[in-house]
């Protein structure tokens, strides 16, 4: 399910400046958060796999766009939900919990060099950003299986993931790098610890912000980041860009 939710990429900085030429609004020719393969400028295997999975689901379950509508029969909703969960789990294990698009990769490239903590074993965002030309260092406490639902599953590519957590942000090699976090707190308090160890001015966060979550159990904080992390982020930084990711 998670790979099909609505996510945000937000760039935060202690000074009220934003990347020149960026507009948080999606192109008028596309739905929010959706990308057309013909307009994809960066090498992005996850986006291609996501779009293929979505097309397959729509073909198999025409009720997908109206999944929660009262007009959708309960049996059709249950079957669609099961397929959605299965497809989402496969994408998470092969790639990541949320899907990068061109704008997200452009933001990472603009703010390069990047340090990512909690990249997961697949380091999907790090691979895509590096392919786009960014200097992207990726760390995870479990470089062999981090970020996966099924830790033994095969990933969607190879990237050097270094072992480490929030403490790596105080290392000399990572000073001056922009902090990037994607879905940091599904099972931990990683995000807040990263903010406490980070001395830089810019944080890029891929996930839900306060009020974005649609699940009842996670409202109003969302599922991707802890309440403490979101409160600290909003307290210490100004949001200068917010944009939708594919869903």
Is the pLDDT confidence value at 15 over 50?
A: no
Lowest mean pLDDT: which of 22-26, 137-141, 185-189?
Answer: 22-26
Lowest mean pLDDT: which of 47-56, 167-176, 220-229, 230-239?
Answer: 220-229
Q: CA 14, CA 110: separation in Å to the nearest integer?
A: 17
Structure tokens at 51: 């779009």
- The greatest distance separating any two alpha carbons of the chain, rounded to the nearest whole angstrom, comes to 58
- Kindly provide the b/e burial profile for residues 59-68, where b requires at least 16 CB atoms within 10 angstroms of the residue's own CB: eebebbeeee
Is the pLDDT confidence value at 138 over 50?
A: yes
Is the pLDDT confidence value at 31 over 50?
A: no
Of 3 and 40, the one with more pLDDT? 40
At 247 the pLDDT is 78
Scanning 95-141, the segments in alpha helix (DSSP H) are: 102-110, 124-131
Q: CA 83, CA 92: separation in Å to the nearest integer?
A: 14
Is the pLDDT confidence value at 216 over 60?
A: no
| Residue 187 pLDDT level (bands cut at 50, 70, 90) | low
Of 26 and 40, the one with more pLDDT? 40
31 phi and psi angles, rounded to 5 deg: -75, 155
Map residue 235 onto helix, strand or coil. helix
At 194 the pLDDT is 95
Structure tokens at 42: 């960066």
At 82 the pLDDT is 93
pTM over 0.85: no
At 25 the pLDDT is 36
At 29 the pLDDT is 36
Please name the residues in contact with 183: beta carbons below 8 A apart, sequence gap of 6 or more.
Answer: 2, 96, 97, 98, 118, 206, 207, 224, 225
Q: CA 113, CA 134: separation in Å to the nearest integer?
A: 6
Q: What residues does 162 pair with on adjacent strands? A: 139
The per-residue pLDDT for range 65-104, each reduced to its tens digit, is 998 899 999 999 999 999 999 998 888 888 888 889 998 9
Is the pLDDT confidence value at 220 over 70?
A: no
| Residue 223 pLDDT level (bands cut at 50, 70, 90) | low
């Amino acid at each position: 399910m998670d790979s099909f939710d609505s996510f945000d990429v937000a760039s935060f900085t202690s000074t009220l400046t934003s990347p020149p030429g960026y507009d948080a609004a999606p192109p008028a020719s596309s739905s929010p958060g959706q990308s057309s393969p013909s307009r994809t400028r960066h090498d992005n295997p996850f986006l291609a796999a996501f779009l293929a999975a979505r097309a397959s689901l729509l073909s198999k379950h025409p009720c997908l766009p109206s999944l929660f509508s009262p007009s959708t029969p309960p049996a059709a909703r249950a079957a669609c939900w099961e397929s959605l969960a299965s497809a989402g789990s496969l994408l998470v294990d092969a790639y990541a919990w949320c899907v990068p698009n061109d704008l997200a990769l452009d933001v990472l490239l603009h703010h390069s060099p990047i340090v990512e903590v909690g990249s997961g074993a697949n380091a999907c965002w790090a691979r895509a950003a590096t392919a786009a030309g960014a200097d992207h260092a990726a760390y995870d406490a479990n470089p062999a299986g981090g970020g996966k639902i099924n830790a033994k599953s095969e990933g969607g590519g190879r990237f050097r993931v270094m072992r480490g957590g929030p403490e790596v942000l105080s290392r000399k090699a990572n000073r001056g790098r922009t902090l990037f976090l994607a879905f940091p707190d599904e099972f931990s308090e990683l995000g807040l610890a990263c903010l406490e160890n980070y001395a830089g001015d810019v944080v890029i966060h891929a996930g839900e912000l306060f009020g974005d979550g649609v699940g009842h159990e996670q409202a109003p904080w969302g599922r991707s980041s802890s309440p403490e992390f979101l409160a600290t982020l909003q307290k210490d930084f100004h949001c200068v860009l917010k944009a939708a990711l594919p869903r």
